[in-house]
Structure 1
């Protein structure tokens, strides 16, 4: 919490309308990873997929421009960006003149890359893709694909993370399954505001008890942690308790302040998911 004490989260903030990259507030990843039991070498790769729905600036003639931004932050970066500071930073574009959409894209890439590697050597840049109004029609809504755990009529009594619900049967033949749930909910680490999400778990290995997995996911309901940290906690609990040979965990959280955050972690190399919104986003 020490690093968060000086962040804008949970505080009254002035909305700056002139470009100001100093508004970005990076938070180190490692302290929460230490808490979860993740060392300097992680058992996963992946990324945090952000969508910014409220991006606007002025062209050289002073005419407002708008775009959606798809942003990919590799999970190997040393920091995440606190989401309210990200919103304030994007608002600082509102009355700022940029020569072109490409100039906006380059500015975002440079500023965000510096922030997520703050104080360390940069080992890769943040991915930024801007979608202009002419392409808004191609932004589709798609549910997470897989077998829904929510079909199960289970009794739930735990509302803080309860990994003891997780189990797999090593005496059964290995399976490859994709399981989804729309019942993920956690709370902001600082403000306590609810964070609503859907989660997709794909694994290969001994069959995981689906009822136990659903109870486990529901158990985040009163838990306070950022999106990225919740997904890494889910990954590690399944990885250590069910011991799959392959695992990926992908969550899509509903937007707040014009931003949604969608962390994805995988035990093996693969293409990242398409950053495509669900109906609730």
Structure 2
């Protein structure tokens, strides 16, 4: 039987399996997934067609000081798209939980461990910050763009189909489009992943009705969050031929973590904020 390296990699993860929830610091809980396993089928091999990052927010992060008193903080982690690996989300949650009953000399020590462990898992340097709850650094905002969810479209496809997309090369425009109807499923557990999608592009006008049909077509699709966004980016680039394109998905949190993958033809870093469902 022909070997499937993608499936072999998934089988090695704790995802979808019954596991203990340790409360003592353990960096071995973190599990990487090679980005190449999904990028190669998309035709992405050596040169990436996008810039960007995976922005994680952790809302349930705590540890003990040397006197045993709990401390809490909001965690922000930015993983570059150039990293060879994504950080598997369940292992990320287990890892963060492992700090709960461990004592540390200072917040700086905790931050240094997070930076070291997460960078080792991603395979490159990631940015990690710990923010005080009183700083209110994550305001609730609305995405800046035209929401297309009101469109009265017929939906018949619930697996990604780039053939649905249409654009008009006679109309060259710049616009920002938003949909809150993005839903895909966890690759192993089949649990729903809910998200809002932001698209900013310049180029042939994208037909809004077909774009909405395409977004909804992910509804029964099983794939990691980061992979869904890269698929959407590649499908829009190939089918609609924009000159510039940015795609941001902000997913609702699970287990105290949300992930917000960003892919763009432009070299920029996204600001951090929360949507009402986050």
TM-score range, shorter chain: over 0.9
How far is the alpha carbon of 1:138 from its aligned partner? Answer: 4.0
2:192 corresponds in structure 1 to 194
Query: 2:95 aligned with 1:89, yes or no?
Result: yes
1:280 corresponds in structure 2 to 277
Any residues of structure 2 matched to 1:24-63 within 5 Å, and which? Answer: 24-63=30-69
Report SS of the residue matched to 2:8. Answer: coil
1:229 corresponds in structure 2 to 227
TM-score (normalizing by structure 1): 0.95
How far is the alpha carbon of 1:224 from its aligned partner? Answer: 0.4
CA-to-aligned-CA distance 1:108-154 (integer Å, 9 cap, x gap) = 1111001111xxxx4xx11111112332x343111222000112111
Measured in 1, the distance between the counterparts of 2:265 and 2:94 equals 34
Measured in 1, the distance between the counterparts of 2:77 and 2:108 equals 14
Match of 1:65 among 68, 71, 82: 71
Structure 2: unaligned runs, 5 residues or longer: 1-6
2:112 corresponds in structure 1 to 106
2:4 corresponds in structure 1 to none
Measured in 1, the distance between the counterparts of 2:40 and 2:79 equals 20
CA-to-aligned-CA distance 1:144-194 (integer Å, 9 cap, x gap) = 22000112111111110011111211122x111000000000000111000
Q: CA-atom RMSD, angstroms?
A: 1.0
Structure 1: unaligned runs, 5 residues or longer: none
1:163 corresponds in structure 2 to 162
Report SS of the residue matched to 1:171. Answer: strand
TM-score (normalizing by structure 2): 0.96
Following TM superposition, where does structure 1 have runs of at least 4 consecutive aligned residues deviating by more than 4 angstroms? none
**Conserved 8 A contact 2:248-2:261:** yes
Query: 2:253 aligned with 1:255, yes or no?
Result: yes
Corresponding residue pairs, total: 272
Measured in 1, the distance between the counterparts of 2:263 and 2:61 equals 27
2:240 corresponds in structure 1 to 242
Greater shift, 163-172 or 257-266, is seen at 163-172
CA-to-aligned-CA distance 1:12-37 (integer Å, 9 cap, x gap) = 11111111100000000001001122
Measured in 1, the distance between the counterparts of 2:33 and 2:116 equals 18
Match of 2:209 among 208, 211, 222: 211
2:129 corresponds in structure 1 to 129
Measured in 1, the distance between the counterparts of 2:143 and 2:115 equals 28
